Structure 1
Amino acid sequence: MSVDTPRRIVLLRHAKADWGQESDHERPLADRGRQDAPAAGRRLAGTGIPIDLVLCSTAARTRETWKLAAPELPKRPKTVYEDRIYEASLGELIAVLNETPDDAANVLLIGHNPGVHALADALAGDSEGDLLPRMNRSGFPTSAIAVLTFTGGWKSVEHGVGRLVDFWTPHA
């Protein structure tokens, strides 16, 4: 696959998590999260984007979000559970994307705020319509999805490289 191939970065914030006695890393989804995660999966399927690779945080709430969203897709993509996505800064998330193999055209990253929102905002050099201001007003709630497009290899992912072409929240 050429580095000039159009690529998509799909960002999914984990579904609503519960606050219990567990450590933050082990927090499970709340009831609302267990309802919203399949809805996010249906939205992902509805985009028609053939996801080649999923990069998912190792936190319980992100793994559970993916477990409930994945069955909604027509085909389950390869999934890599990546420790560095949990509590990742913007720079760490860009570094993870920069290491993505160029044979993956469409990557889904499942992570946490504030990192996922910061990543979407930083990569979006422009957007369709009012998507960027709408995303920034919303604060990137749980189960939200942002889709960014760019051309080039994964090593070229940096500030302003993408175009925000879709933003969805389950409770809009």
Structure 2
Amino acid sequence: MSVADPRRIVLFRHAKADWPQVNDHERPLAERGRKDAAVAGRKLADTGIHLDLALCSTAVRTRETWKLAVHEFPQRPKTIYEERVYEASPGELIAVLNEVDDGAQNVILIGHNPGVHGLADILSGSAEGDARERMNRRGFPAAAFAVLTFTGSWKTLEPGTATLADYWAPSE
């Protein structure tokens, strides 16, 4: 694979979390979140994107979301639980993605809002079809994901260099 080959980034927000009396990092998924995580996993699997690497926040709700979603995939990618994804700004998330080895063509980042939605907006200099309109209309609800494409090294990923290729959110 060369850096001239298109790369994909899937930005995946954790599914709906519960609000028990625990600190924010330890919040588990709600019943609806467990269901939506599996549905999102099936939708991601249906895209046919072969994921090489998953970068997942260390928060309980993101780890649970990923565990339920990845179960739907034909092949599990290498997963790294990355503390820097928790409560990260779009700029901090770009810095994490800039460190990805160029051997990885397709990466999924499982994180939180407002960082994930902000990152999708900031990276996408263009969009295919009505993907941007759908994302702007729906926002980035729990269990939503956006697929972005770009060409080049991960080190060159910066605002405006990607195309928003697809967007999906669960039904309310």
1:132 positional shift: 0.9
- Spell out, residue by residue over 1:86-113, the C-alpha distance to the aligned partner (whole angstroms, 9 max, x if none): 0001110000000000000000000000
1:92 equivalent in alignment to 2:99: no
Q: Count the aligned residue pairs.
A: 172
Q: Secondary structure at the match of 2:20?
A: coil
Gaps of 5+ in 2: none
1:43 equivalent in alignment to 2:25: no
1:136 positional shift: 1.8
Question: What residue is the counterpart of 1:73 in the other structure?
Answer: 73
Structure 1 runs (4+) greater than 3 angstroms displaced? none
Question: What residue is the counterpart of 2:25 in the other structure?
Answer: 25
Counterpart AA for 2:7: R
Cα root mean square deviation, aligned = 0.8
Structure 1 window deviating more from structure 2 (76-85 vs 121-130): it is: 121-130
Q: Secondary structure at the match of 1:8?
A: strand
TM-score (norm 1): 0.98
Q: Secondary structure at the match of 1:93?
A: helix
1:164 equivalent in alignment to 2:161: no
C-alpha distance in structure 2 between counterparts of 1:89 and 1:145, whole Å: 17
Q: Secondary structure at the match of 2:29?
A: coil
Residue pairs, 1:84-163, within 5 angstroms: 84-163=84-163
Q: Secondary structure at the match of 1:72?
A: coil
Counterpart AA for 1:145: F
C-alpha distance in structure 2 between counterparts of 1:95 and 1:42, whole Å: 29
Residue pairs, 1:7-26, within 5 angstroms: 7-26=7-26
C-alpha distance in structure 2 between counterparts of 1:136 and 1:86, whole Å: 23
C-alpha distance in structure 2 between counterparts of 1:128 and 1:154, whole Å: 21
C-alpha distance in structure 2 between counterparts of 1:29 and 1:41, whole Å: 15
